[in-house]
Amino acid sequence: MLRFFKSKWFVLSLITIALLVVMGISANENSKLNWLNNIVSVPMKPIQGFFSSIGREIDDFLSFFKEMEEVKKENDVLRAEVAELRKQNREMSVLESKNEELRQALNLKEQFGDYTIHGANIIAVDPSNWFNAFKIDIGTTEGIDSNFPVVTSSRGLVGRVVTSDISTSTVQTIIDVESAISGWIAKAGGGHAIVRGDMELKGKGLCKMDYIPLEVDVEVGDIIETSGLGGYYPKGIVIGEVIEVRKSNSELDRYAIIQPAADFKRLEEVFVLKRNKNIKSGSAEE
């Protein structure tokens, strides 16, 4: 009997049980045990930042040659576009002042009025091939907490903060297979639908929209925004654009493929929307 307690199988089963217990406790995003993550993430942060910037430099350098030809063509197109846009801009400034007047009259709130915007750099990506998550270089010290929305510089939705340590936070992107958010089809007669990550689409940086209401006529080019339901995201952040509508067997089965406004292959800097007032949301959407 004593020999059994000293045997490697006993030690192994002991470790296994201990790890299963730890897993069970730490699976909760708010568990105190997740404090342990700081042991690795805090000392690694500066080195990861350094490694990531080297990677980006090399990648930029290599793509410089590859893109030279494209850039030339693009330049011509852009020149034409600039002229066109200058003209539009002049017309717009008139509209803007008009808009401002009307806005004041209606007393409309700023879109992200309840939020402060915090810039952050991506310092590491998920090590596996299964998830699309990344780490950013701000954490609880900067007041970042789980479920804060993350957007790009042009305010396209990137995802949300899942966990945050002292100095880093993990962000789950909207193309991650475990992500599901409530979207709003932004057009006349629009409706709610669920935007989720898909294993077959995430490689191309796309995501999928299903549970589209029967009465809504989804078309290519429709803009999808956050609906504000669920409590994580404020209403009206652009998720992306419909690039394809697929119908399988029946009308009920149809789903749309979304090109997110954020380019997940070229993401370097993101912005976290920090809630000013501590509004606790009652309902969770996942």
Partner 1 sequence: MKKKALFYFFFIVLFLLLQTTLLQYVAIYGVKPNILVVFIIVTALLRGESEGAPAGFFAGLSLDLMFGSAIGFYALLGLYLGIAVGATNKKIFRENILIVVFFTFIYSLAYESLVYIVNNIMSGDMNFLYALTRTVLPESAYNCVVAVLLFPLVMKAGKWFDGADKKVRKY
Among 112, 120, 124, 232, binds partner 1 (CB under 8 A): 124
For 91, half-sphere exposure in the C-beta direction (CA atoms, 13 angstrom radius) is 5
133 belongs to the binding site for partner 1 (CB under 8 A): yes
Verify binding: residue 169, partner 1, rule CB under 8 A: no
Number of residues counted as binding partner 1 (CB under 8 A):
43
Length of the chain: 286
Instruction: Judge whether 183 and 194 are in contact, CB under 8 Å.
Output: yes
* Cβ proximity of 153 and 269 under 8 Å: yes
Q: Which of 77, 95, 188, 199 binds partner 1 (CB under 8 A)?
A: 199
Residue 64 lies near partner 1 (rule: CB under 8 A): no
Report the b/e string of 88-100 with b at 16+ CB within 10 A: eeeeeeeeeeeee
Considering beta carbons, is residue 168 or 226 the nearer one to partner 1? 168
Instruction: Candidates 28-36, 208-216, 228-236, 237-245: pick the segment binding partner 1 (CB under 8 A).
Output: 28-36
Restricting to residues 246-285, name those near partner 1 by CB under 8 A. Answer: none
Distance separating alpha carbons of residues 286 and 273, to the nearest angstrom: 20
- 36/71 with CB nearer partner 1: 36
Region of 173 on the Ramachandran plot (φ > 0 left; ψ -120 to 50 alpha; else beta)? beta
Distance separating alpha carbons of residues 151 and 156, to the nearest angstrom: 5
Cβ distance to partner 1 smaller for residue 114 or 210: 210
By CB under 8 A, is residue 286 in contact with partner 1?
A: no
> For partner 1, which residue of 52, 152, 179, 226 counts as binding (CB under 8 A)?
52
> Which H/E stretch holds residue 8?
helix 8-26
Per DSSP, the three-state class of 191 is: coil
Q: Beta partners for 223? A: 241
Residue 6, Cβ density class (10 Å: 0-12 exposed, 13-18 middle, ≥19 buried): exposed
Residue 16 binds partner 1 (CB under 8 A): yes
In the complex, least distance from residue 255 CB atom to partner 1, rounded to whole angstroms: 13
Query: What residue ranges bind partner 1 (CB under 8 A)?
Result: 12, 15-16, 19-20, 22-24, 26-27, 33-34, 36-37, 39-41, 44, 47-48, 51-52, 54-55, 58-59, 123-131, 133, 135, 162, 170, 199-200, 202-203
